[in-house]
Amino acid sequence: MTMRSLKMKTEFTLLALISLIISGCQPQKSSIKPGEVWEDDNGLFINAHGGGVLYHEGTYYLYGEMKEGETYLPECNKSWGGTRVDVTGVSCYSSNDLFNWKYEGVVLPAVEDDPSHDLYKGNVLERPKVIYNAKTNKFVMWMHVDSKDYSKAAAGVAVSNFPTGPFEYIESFRPNAGVWPANAAEADTTEGILARDFEGGQMARDMTIFVDDDGKAYQFYSSENNATMHISELTDDYLRPTGKYKRVFPGRKMEAPAVFKKDGKYYFIASGCTAWEPNPARSAVAESIWGPWEELGNPCIGEGGEKTFTSQSTYVLPVQGKSDAFIFMADRWNKDDLPDSRYIWLPIKFDESGKIVLEWHDEWDLSVFDK
C-alpha cells in the first residue's frame, strides 16, 4: 500500500467512524410530532417533500422532493405566487419503525448543466412516488415534471434495480395521447381542454400512483389544467399508461391526490387548488377504482380542520402488521422558505358511516391504532 492510499484509507475510516458516532448519538424517536422539525439519523432535517412511501421486504422507504437553496418567485409565476427552489432531486430515507429515518441519499439527482433536460434544475420535479414491480423486479418512480411556468404538465418515469437507487430517468410524456377516456361525453370530444390535448396527450400535474391487490397500478393526476382528475391504468411493467382511463371529479379542481384501499373500498384524499396555500381537504370513496366516486367532504375535524391543519395531502401510508391502520401524510408548505416546509402525519380514523376522519394530534404513536 502506498503512503497516499494509506492516508486515504485512514481518512475514510475516520469519516465513517465520525458519521457512526453522530448517528449513534441521535436519540431514538418513538413518536410522531406533526409540524415539528423531524430529524434523520444524521440529525439533519428530513428533506422529502411531496413524498410517498414504499414498503418493501420489511423496510419503509420514503421518497420526496429534496428542497434546498434560496426560495424565489420567478417572473412567469408572479400572478399566482408560485415560489420555487431549483430542483436538487429526489431524496430517499429508510426506516423500520416509521419514527427513525436513515438518509439514503439523492436517488434521482437534478441535471445541473443541460437546460433541455426534463430534470434540469431550473425546471420542476414534484410529488415523486415509487412502486415495486414484481414481474420485472424493478423499482419504478413516477413524478410530475414541468417547465418553470408549469406549462409542460407532464408525467416523468425513472427505474432502478434497488429501492435506494440510483434511478435511471427514462422519459416524460403527457399521458393517453390519441385516446379518449372511457367516460368521455360527446361534448368533451369536440370542445374543452380534453379535446384540445387529445393528440399530444393529457395535462398531468399533481399525481400519485396506487397499486391494487391484483398488482395493477394506476396513476391519478390533475388534468385539464387542474380542473378534472384522471385515473389512468398502467402497463404491466408500470412504465406507461395502457390507454384505459377515466375522468373523475369533473370541474372540482383537485390537487395532491392520495389513494388507499380498506375493506375492498377505495378511498381518496386530495386538496383544492390554491398553490402553496392550504385549503379544505376533499375525500371520496368508491366500490371500484373506476368509480362512481362519492365525495365525502373535508375529513378534517376540530380546530384548523378547515385548512387541513395548514397542510396539503401527499400520500396515505398503510402501516404494516396492523389492520386498518393508515397514516395521512401531508406537507405544511412554507412558501417563503420552501426547504423549511414541515410534515403533517396524522392517523386516519373512520366514523360509523365509514367516512374518513382526521383529527389533530400534537404527538402520537402507532398505539392509536390499537384502540
Q: Tell me which residues touch ligand GAL (CB under 6 A).
A: 50, 82, 126-127, 206, 255-256, 275-276, 312
The helix/strand/coil state of 188 is helix
* Cβ-contact 229, 249 below 8 angstroms: yes
Q: What DSSP designation does 196 have?
A: H
Q: What angle do CA 354, 357, 60 make, to 5 degrees?
A: 100
Minimum distance from residue 46 beta carbon to ligand GAL (Å): 18
Please return the burial class of 240, using the count of CB atoms within 10 Å of its CB with bins 0-12, 13-18 and 19+: middle
* Minimal distance, residue 232 CB to ligand GAL, in Å: 18
What is the β-pairing status of strands 356-359 and 300-301? parallel
Asked whether 269 and 262 are in contact (CB, 8 A), the reply is no
Report, in Å, the least distance between residue 50 CB and ligand GAL.
5
Q: Closest approach of Cβ 25 to ligand GAL, in Å? A: 35
Nearer to ligand GAL, 249 or 369 (CB): 249
Cell 426506516, residue?
95
- Type of residue at 260: F
Plot region of 197 (φ>0 → left; ψ -120 to 50 → alpha; else → beta): alpha
Nearer to ligand GAL, 51 or 109 (CB): 51
Burial of 342 (0-12, 13-18, 19+ CB in 10 A): buried
- Report which residue's Cβ sits closest to ligand GAL: 275
Shorter beta-carbon distance to ligand GAL: residue 127 or 246: 127
Q: Between residues 70 and 236, which has the closer beta carbon with respect to ligand GAL?
A: 70
Q: Which is nearer to ligand GAL, 232 or 312 (CB)?
A: 312
Cα 93 from Cα 70, distance rounded (Å) = 23
Cβ-based nearer residue to ligand GAL, 51 or 201: 51
> Can you count the helices (H) and strands (E) in the chain?
2, 21
Distance, CA of 128 to CA of 118 (rounded, Å):
14
Residue 371: CB minimum distance to ligand GAL, A? 32
Residue 151 beta carbon to ligand GAL: minimum distance, rounded to whole angstroms = 13
C-alpha separations of 238 from 40, 46, 164 in Å? 30, 28, 18
Strand partners of residue 255: 271
Select 83 or 202, whichever has its Cβ closest to ligand GAL.
Answer: 83
Of residues 188 and 206, the one with the C-beta less far from ligand GAL: 206
To ligand GAL, the closest distance from the beta carbon of 275 in angstroms equals: 4
SS3 category, 22: helix
Q: How far is the CB of 277 from ligand GAL (least distance, A)?
A: 8
